[in-house]
Amino acid sequence: ILNVEQSPQSLHVQEGDSTNFTCSFPSSNFYALHWYRWETAKSPEALFVMTLNGDEKKKGRISATLNTKEGYSYLYIKGSQPEDSATYLCAFSNYGGATNKLIFGTGTLLAVQP
């Protein structure tokens, strides 16, 4: 059974703090790693898709790195703002299927206090 683990489960930071969290996934037969941002009462929205070992992606104050050999990805938020409060999901897909089937982690809930 393939498992995706995210840590920490939740995080409370002050406005202006920088923070990071981890997504761990099986390193064998890796194909892609997705990050989604999920605000309360809304739908998950895509942040990044990464495929190559060493990949780094950036969108504004949010960035992500990928290590496929050891099976982890980090998501960084620089200078957190209250509007960054959300659950951050990662999802992994591995080669072996015929379609885009993702295995999701349980998410890291980020709360940014003004």
Partner 1 sequence: NAGVTQTPKFQVLKTGQSMTLQCAQDMNHNSMYWYRQDPGMGLRLIYYSASEGTTDKGEVPNGYNVSRLNKREFSLRLESAAPSQTSVYFCASTKGVSYTDTQYFGPGTRLTVL
Which one of residues 10, 51, 81, 113 is an interface residue with partner 1 (CB under 8 A)? 51
Question: How many Cβ atoms sit within 10 Å of the Cβ of residue 1?
Answer: 4
Binding flag, residue 107, partner 1 (CB under 8 A): yes
Residue 84 DSSP one-character state: G
Binding flag, residue 71, partner 1 (CB under 8 A): no
Q: Are 37 and 88 in contact (CB under 8 A)?
A: yes
For residue 68, which of 20, 30, 22, 36 has the smallest C-alpha distance? Answer: 30
Binding flag, residue 86, partner 1 (CB under 8 A): no
- Whichever of 21 and 36 has its CB closer to partner 1, that residue is 36
Q: What amino acid occupies position 105?
A: G
Enumerate binding residues for partner 1 (CB under 8 A). 4, 31-32, 34, 36, 42-46, 49, 51, 89, 91, 93, 95, 98-107
